[in-house]
Amino acid sequence: MALEKEHSMTTRNTQAEWETIINEAEKDIPSSFPEYKAPILGTPDFANCIDHTLLKLDANKDQIDELCEEARRHQFRSVCVRLIWVERAVHNLQGSGVVVACVVGFHEGTHSVSDKVKEASQAISNGALELDMVMNYPLLKQQRYPQVYTDIAAVRNVAPHPVVLKVILETAQLTQFDIIAGCKVAEAANADFVKTSTGFGGQGATVENVRLMKSVIGPHMKVKASGGVKTVNECVSMMEAGAERIGTSNGVWIMKEALALLEDTTHAAGGHDRKNSRPSDSLTGMFSSS
């Protein structure tokens, strides 16, 4: 409790100042959004955008070992797991170049500040290099912005750079205004990413929300799309909307699709559809850097 009181004493802005910042951000939302270029399908750059994820409460050590082996084989950016599995994942991935991300305050986001700080500190001590923390989105919906800021800033304080901090908004539970507010508060707390969803709280990532989040944040912050991204088409759509990281438990399937499409294009000039792949016209430009 003392730790929580200590954190709550420090806020960046008053309630009125937060409201002004967020209202101005809402006014600046563009009427149209740019399309971003995704990495070439099936390449290391493409795989490096994927956080290979297993967050089920009933996950076991064999499943974690398999998750890590898959991430090592495909050279995904990270594996994302609960705190209980961080040490095992770090051990499994030694020398692979794949990092371990740990969720914090998962999945409700309503854990106390002190509990989130303790969880983040333990994850880093166990070897996690990235944290995916759930914002206290019920407080966000109540527009209690100083408290939301304190929640994130407290975790950032015990997880300074180069630890990567991603803040999960749980967009399915939020209005557009709430999403804008969440992005601006997370940005002010020096988070590295805003992330759409936990995958446990309703609809996951949508192209519309990724575009909105990308338009609100500054150039030094990024968007992670997570929740319901199961195919290469969905993955590319999120990237084209502005996501630079994809959280999914379907990374192996996505890579299978991506490599099959690349092989068909390279060796058959796109002359036929490969069984079990889901090609889309939107992927036409995804096989060259031009």
Q: Which of 116, 195, 214, 222 is catalytic?
A: 195
Residue 154 CA to residue 249 CA, distance in Å, equals 29
Q: What is the DSSP annotation of 192-212?
A: SEEE---SSSSS---HHHHHH
CA distances in angstroms from 102 to 32, 39, 229, 280, listed in the order given: 35, 25, 19, 33
Strands 50-53 and 78-81: parallel
Residues 6 or more apart from 81 whose CB is under 8 A from it?
53, 54, 55, 59, 64, 67, 89, 100, 101, 102, 103
Token pair for residue 101?
Answer: 């991300």
Report which secondary-structure segment, H or E, holds 168: strand 164-168
Residue 61 CA to residue 70 CA, distance in Å, equals 14
Task: Write the burial class of residue 241 (CB in 10 Å: 0-12 exposed, 13-18 middle, 19+ buried).
Answer: buried
Peptide bond into 272 cis (omega under 30): no
Query: Among this protein's residues, is 195 annotated catalytic?
Result: yes
Q: Which of 51, 132, 151, 178 is catalytic?
A: 132
Residue 15 CA to residue 190 CA, distance in Å, equals 19
Residues 6 or more apart from 8 whose CB is under 8 A from it?
113, 147, 150
Q: Which of 116, 222, 224, 264 is catalytic?
A: 224
Strands 193-195 and 99-104: unpaired
Q: Which residues are catalytic?
A: 132, 195, 224
